Amino acid sequence: MRSGAENEPEPAEEAPAPLTERGARTRERLVSAAREVFEERGFLDTRVAHIARHAKVAYGSFYTYFPSKEAVFLEVADRLFTEMTGLDLVPPAGPSPAARIQRANRSYYRAYLRNAKMMAIVEQVATFNDEFQELRRRHRAASVGRTAKAIERWQREGLVAADLDPEMTARALAAMVDHSLYLWLVQGEGTPETERLLDTLDTLNIRALGLPPAP
């Protein structure tokens, strides 16, 4: 056990001062510039100087808002994940559970298409950055949790078999959709038959859950 002053708690870090309106605009410009540079160069080849130059701010000004390239990347990724996983993959309203799944899959596809370049960078960084992996895990867990709750609701209504594990089922179905869209939109395996892919993903989701097809 340590004794004396070493036992005293370390002082808490002071919260950063609120940004001025001008500072907030500069920070937003840096975030937008960072995303564009990451998409163009990839994470590993991007430098703070590239981001600052693209945002048209002085190199040293970058560090007023972010301590590192990694920090601004986490900001970009957090916003991306909020858009991607913030979608309710099983909307509460709709003519039928199957129709809700169809609508959700198409909404997710459109979001993935808008963000395909950044999703490619996401896969790159996920292989080596622990902090990023944790951020990604939190967002994914929130999305999976919402889908699991929908499955539980359908189980109570007798629409989905009671012996399916809601969380594991939600994870497996999300992984199927995610990886299919990754191969389609990032790896370039897509063809003009996008609607055929989406129809197939819908069918696999609906049949896996044992739901009646959409009317």
Amino acid identity of residue 132, one-letter, is F
- The domain spanning residue 27 has which CATH number? 1.10.10.60
* Closest C-alpha to 54, from 27, 29, 71: 29
Find the domain containing 121 and state its range: 78-209
Note whether 56 and 105 are same-domain residues.
no
Q: pTM to 2 decimals? A: 0.80
Q: Could you read off the pLDDT of 49-84 as tens digits, one per residue? A: 999 999 999 999 999 999 999 999 999 999 998 888
Instruction: Spell out the SS3 assignment of the chain.
Output: CCCHHHHCCCCCCCCCCCCCHHHHHHHHHHHHHHHHHHHHHCCCCCCHHHHHHHHCCCHHHHHHHCCCHHHHHHHHHHHHHHHHHCCCCCCCCCCCHHHHHHHHHHHHHHHHHHCHHHHHHHHHHCCCCHHHHHHHHHHHHHHHHHHHHHHHHHHHCCCCCCCCCHHHHHHHHHHHHHHHHHHHHHCCCCCCCHHHHHHHHHHHHHHHHCCCCCC
What integer pLDDT is reported at residue 192 of this predicted model? 67
**What would the mean pLDDT of 26-44 be, rounded to a whole number?**
96
Is residue 156 over pLDDT 80? Answer: yes
What integer pLDDT is reported at residue 29 of this predicted model? 96
Q: Could you read off the pLDDT of 189-209 as tens digits, one per residue? A: 766 688 999 999 999 999 999
Note whether 146 and 104 are same-domain residues.
yes
Which residue do the tokens 């309710």 mark? Answer: 88
Q: Using alpha carbons, list the distances in angstroms from residue 101 to 4, 50, 57, 154, 182.
A: 61, 41, 45, 13, 19
* Closest C-alpha to 104, from 116, 93, 117: 93
* Closest C-alpha to 177, from 196, 153, 200: 200
What integer pLDDT is reported at residue 95 of this predicted model? 73
The domain boundary, picked from 67, 86, 121, lies at 67
What integer pLDDT is reported at residue 86 of this predicted model? 67
Task: Report the alpha-carbon distance of residue 19 to residue 13 in Å, rounded.
Answer: 17
Which residue do the tokens 């997710």 mark? Answer: 108
What integer pLDDT is reported at residue 92 of this predicted model? 56
Is residue 8 over pLDDT 50? Answer: no
What's the half-sphere exposure (Cβ side, CA atoms, 13 Å) at 200? 9
Query: Encoding tokens for residue 188?
Result: 């370039």
Note whether 172 and 104 are same-domain residues.
yes
**Residue 15 confidence class, pLDDT cut points 50, 70, 90:** very low
The domain boundary, picked from 46, 67, 88, lies at 67
Task: Report the alpha-carbon distance of residue 131 to residue 71 in Å, rounded.
Answer: 10
**What would the mean pLDDT of 173-202 be, rounded to a whole number?**
89
Note whether 102 and 190 are same-domain residues.
yes
Domain count, the chain: 2
What integer pLDDT is reported at residue 91 of this predicted model? 52
Note whether 133 and 172 are same-domain residues.
yes
What integer pLDDT is reported at residue 18 of this predicted model? 60
Note whether 26 and 49 are same-domain residues.
yes
Question: Mean pLDDT across the chain, nearest whole number?
Answer: 86
Q: Could you read off the pLDDT of 87-135 as tens digits, one per residue? A: 555 555 567 899 989 988 998 999 999 999 999 998 889 889 999 999 8
Which residue do the tokens 């960084």 mark? Answer: 125
Note whether 43 and 133 are same-domain residues.
no
In a domain, 4, yes or no: no
**Angle between helix 69-85 and helix 116-125 axes, rounded to 10 deg:** 120
**What would the mean pLDDT of 27-42 be, rounded to a whole number?**
96
Is residue 10 over pLDDT 50? Answer: no
- The domain spanning residue 134 has which CATH number? 1.10.357.10
What integer pLDDT is reported at residue 189 of this predicted model? 75
